[in-house]
Structure 1
């Protein structure tokens, strides 16, 4: 037996039930361009309700020049920080009457390109973009004329609007806190070496080490993906070396969780035997065991700023930089209290 699909309701169906023309139905749905008598408007609205008619969003976008949607392209939604940022952007967009279409590239550059093409084809009113690597498809987006805000640092010569945190300064801050405990042999689990934000975090770690007059041990730099698996594998590599650092700066929360798992498997306690701090902490950091000392970015403020930047977009590149905070946990060796305040 062939399954019968329900017939799609059209404006003509609404017009027939309301006893009016298709054009009048369009005027009611779009609030113009011509006025409609109150009684006729009410009949059309009742017909829409009875038929369950839904306007074609893409057609309306083509007609009005606005789709009431933004696109968001992220490298991997499984990253806790990326997920938290996406959540806040979606909530802030809803407050502005907008919907966000989320594209998860899964750390795949080709998939990222496909997502961008798909979102541009859907006539989104703007894009938020955090690329898989340091080669974002900015020229493609600029050629389409679609407003764009990058949620990361990119080359200023690209002349694109950016929302960012000074990641080098933030990395120096949290590494400096680690050094303030008296640790001197400090390594780093970094992000992929080709990524600009990974380079910023490594340079911030170097700045902190240099400020204390400490030597940089090249064999204590462990590049890895920004994932739990990446942190786990980097820690396993570190454990196979001839010597261990006494402390670590880990470049994001997911890596830190993976790293601690690898250390626990070898009965290496954090922070008693190896202290640890990390970048891009989320609300989860305080509930980990041990609670993570981390740099946190003001996600809600960033989401509001990003939405405002996109709505104010006029083709000129804008730069907005937000502050960061140091959140104290147990992983660095501090005595932690859940009520302890974050330090700017």
Structure 2
């Protein structure tokens, strides 16, 4: 197994960043004795710097900026962990900024990161608060990648949202549910649009009409899921299943069911999306679509390492259905009237 930059750092008794400064000739001052130890460790271990990392602009700092909308959402720190894992392997450090979905805050953070001459900038989330153009980063030498939103001008990493939402809806249909409500996120979110489209496509493929009154907007928070679920379940013709566009809203919806005296999944099935750690600890445990948030970050950092002059690339990360108790999959199935092709 070939030596890594971490192996060299351990052998020389220095940080990964110091090894990177020696191997990239960054101009950052490194003492003669320290440099000699690093070079000796490189020779002893036969270390060869990863050519991939040479794509980043060496005139920039050894920093990578991550701009995300919501620090309270466990999904975004996990994405950042994936970025950080790869960044550290190549001698880069990560700065994390939470915009709270505020345009002004997002613009200020991005400006500050560019002024710090970050080598790469990862924009996480599909909201409208960030709308970068190539001219905005021209001259700064920073690579840019979008995570969770489409772009033709920058590289992107996205989950298979539409396909996964269709698969989850089909799962509920296969359990006998023909009246399925959907709690969406903000209309401006790319993930919301794709997940809603997948839900509608599955209904159509099974000969069912998507009823507008069965789709309510949430805001990707527990409170938003709670409010939407109450609105749906207080109706006389309440649905038998509820699909929330993320787990936080699904967990809020389950709280609403409990307050209304409804049992999950006996009275109403509830499913979510993202498979956050809490999903397996709520009761009943939440059926969800699992996205490897860390893998999104790993793929994003790999794209950043290609450098600002690389052509935009677009990576899709696969998802999988995680079936737990909240959907009622292990209970007697309902009689179904859905038509299947």
Q: Matches of residues 302-341 of structure 1 in structure 2 within 5 Å?
A: 302-313=296-307, 314-335=309-330
> Which residue, 191, 215, 218 being the options, matches 2:212?
218
Distance 1:192 1:65 in 2: 39
Deviations 1:162-186 (A, max 9, x none): 0011211111011111111011000
Structure 2 residue aligned with 1:146: 142
Q: C-alpha distance in 2, partners of 1:154/1:166?
A: 12
Distance in 2 (alpha carbons) for counterparts of 1:36 and 1:118: 30
TM-score, L = length of structure 2? 0.77
1:253 is displaced (CA, Å) by 0.7
Q: Structure 1 residue runs of 4+, over 6 Å off?
A: 30-37, 39-42
What is the TM-score when the length of structure 1 is the normalising length? 0.76
The residue that corresponds to 1:66 in the other structure is: 60
For residue 244 of structure 1, report the CA deviation from its aligned partner.
0.9
- Name 2:177's counterpart in structure 1: 183
Unaligned runs of 5+ in 2: 1-21, 38-56, 332-341
1:107 equivalent in structure 2: 101
Q: Which residue of 2 aligns with 1:92?
A: 86
Does 2:194 match 1:167? no
Q: Given the superposition, is the C-alpha separation of residues 41 and 80 from structure 1 closer, same or farther in structure 2, using an over 3 Å criterion?
A: closer
2:75 match: 81
Paired with 2:74 and 2:31, the residues of 1 have a C-alpha distance of: 50
Which structure's CA Rg is the greater one? 1
Higher relative contact order (CA 8 A, sep 6+): 2
Pick which of 319-328 and 275-284 moved more: 275-284
- Residue in structure 2 matched with residue 136 of structure 1 by the alignment: 130
Alpha-carbon distance in 1 for matches of 2:27, 2:261? 70
RMSD: 2.8
Contact 1:231 1:257 survives alignment (8 Å): yes
Q: Which runs of 5+ in 1 are unaligned?
A: 1-26, 43-62, 337-344
Secondary structure of 2:67 counterpart = strand
